[in-house]
Amino acid sequence: MSIEKSTKAARGTAQCENTNINLLKANDFVADIIKKEMAKTNTLLVNITSSAGSGKTTLMQKTAEKLKNKLNIAVMVGDLETERDAERIRETGIQALQIVTGGICHLEAQMIHQVLDQFDLPNIDLLFIENVGNLVCPASFDLGEDYRVTLMATTEGDDKPKKYPRMFLTSDMMLVSKSDLLPYLPFSVEAVTKDAREVNHELEVIQISSLTEEGIDKWCDWLVEKVKQKQQV
């Protein structure tokens, strides 16, 4: 490569880095606005992240069934296309709003802020963000959430925390989902927990199955406690 081409390449890389920095700064500015709005209404905001197909929507359905008579719950759902996941969640009787990203592989704070007026926040105890299925891009974008919860499905393999460390570093809880399949898969809960806690030693871990309901009550108890804490502030 010539010196001229090398210089142009270096400038291009610097410009990309500056663009990314500016984008994240703008995102964090809006995320802070969201945090303040959630604080005004004492609404707990939980960002649910994972790879595609880990069981986020099924977990939202099961959580709504368990808690809708105890808490006022709503869900924002991020997907590249279709309203299918939001429709599934609405079948449980709670409000669900689909955010169609049109090909973007993550949700950003501006997307969340633009639809907040669709919710009666003073009357919502718990608002979920079901993020786009992706362990990479969503890790970099603060959505103003109180807690980030990442699903780690047994069908994915137990080596993901070290491959995608930023997601687990920025999460408060890891849910090992689809635990009903453990007898049939070469997946070690002990190994994935060890790796995840080497990345983030404060990470909480619950093993769950939305099919058999293993760990669902523990998960729901965690949510209820966090809602109580938010409302006492």
What confidence tens digit (pLDDT) does each residue in 11-27 have?
A: 343 444 455 567 789 99
- What beta strand segments (E) does the chain contain? 44-49, 73-79, 95-100, 126-130, 147-153, 173-177, 204-207
Q: What's the token pair of residue 67?
A: 């808690």
Question: What percent of the chain stands above pLDDT 90?
Answer: 82
By the 10 Å C-beta count (0-12 exposed, 13-18 middle, 19+ buried), 36 is classed as exposed
DSSP string, 157-179: -TTHHHHSHHHHHT-SEEEEE-G
- Provide CATH code, domain 3-232: 3.40.50.300
Cβ-contact 47, 76 below 8 angstroms: no
Those residues with Cβ within 8 angstroms of residue 162's Cβ, 6 or more apart along the chain or in another chain: 195, 198, 199
- For the entire predicted model, the pTM comes to 0.89
CA distances from 135 to 9, 64, 183 (A): 28, 24, 25
Q: Quick: pLDDT tens for 183-210.
A: 999 999 999 999 999 999 999 999 999 9
Q: How far apart are CA 53 and CA 50, in angstroms?
A: 8
Boundaries of every domain in the chain: 3-232
Provide the residue count of the chain: 233
Environment class of 40 (CB within 10 Å of its CB; exposed 0-12, middle 13-18, buried 19+):
exposed
Contact between residue 189 and residue 176 where contact means Cβ atoms under 8 Å apart: yes
CA distances from 212 to 47, 59, 93, 187, 216 (A): 24, 12, 21, 18, 9
Give the pLDDT confidence of 92-138 residue by residue, as tens digits: 999 999 988 776 778 999 999 999 999 999 999 999 999 998 999 99
Instruction: Give, as one character, the DSSP assignment of residue 51.
Output: S
Average pLDDT of the segment spanning 142-151: 98
